[in-house]
C-alpha cells in the first residue's frame, strides 16, 4: 500500500474533524490492521495520524487540499505582502509560506480572519 499524500483521506476523517475523532479513527484502523499483521499499512496510518496531531502539518494538509482558486488568492495575498515567491511556486512552497505567516501572526497576537 503506497502512502497517500492526504492524511485526512488516509484516515477517513473530515478536514474539520477534532482531535478525538482523529484519534478514535486511528485506533479503529490500528485494531483492524495491527502492525504485526500488516506493518506497511500500519506505517501509512501512523504517518497520517502523526501529521494530523501536529497543528502545523495539519494546516499544511488542509491548505494542500484546497482548490486552485484558493491558491490563486494565496498568490495574490503573498504578492500584496511583497513576499518573495515564484509565480510558478508549488502548492507545498505556497503552503509553507502561508504557515510561516500564520505562525508569525499568531505569535504577535494578530487576527487571521478577514472581515
Each residue's pLDDT tens digit, 59-95: 777 776 665 556 656 666 665 665 555 555 666 666 6
Domain that holds residue 37: 7-58
Please check whether residues 47 and 71 belong to one and the same domain.
Answer: no
Please check whether residues 17 and 46 belong to one and the same domain.
Answer: yes
Please check whether residues 94 and 52 belong to one and the same domain.
Answer: no
77: exposed, middle or buried (Cβ count in 10 Å: 0-12, 13-18, 19+) = middle
Grid coordinates belonging to 11: 484516515
Residue carrying the nine cell digits 482558486: 69
Residue carrying the nine cell digits 501529521: 51
Report the domain count for the chain: 2
Taking the model in full, what pTM does it have? 0.57
pLDDT computed for residue 114 by the predictor: 47
Residue carrying the nine cell digits 506493518: 39
Please check whether residues 75 and 103 belong to one and the same domain.
Answer: yes
Amino acid at each position: 500500500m503506497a502512502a497517500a499524500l492526504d492524511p485526512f483521506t488516509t484516515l477517513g476523517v473530515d478536514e474539520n474533524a477534532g482531535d478525538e475523532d482523529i484519534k478514535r479513527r486511528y485506533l479503529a484502523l490500528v485494531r483492524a490492521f495491527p502492525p504485526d499483521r500488516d506493518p506497511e499499512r500500519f506505517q501509512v496510518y501512523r504517518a497520517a495520524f502523526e501529521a494530523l496531531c501536529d497543528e502545523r502539518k495539519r494546516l499544511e494538509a488542509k491548505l494542500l487540499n484546497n482548490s486552485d482558486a484558493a491558491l490563486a488568492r494565496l498568490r495574490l495575498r503573498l504578492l500584496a505582502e511583497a513576499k518573495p515567491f515564484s509565480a510558478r511556486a508549488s502548492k507545498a512552497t505556497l503552503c509553507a509560506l502561508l504557515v510561516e505567516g500564520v505562525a508569525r501572526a499568531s505569535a504577535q497576537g494578530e487576527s487571521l480572519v478577514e472581515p
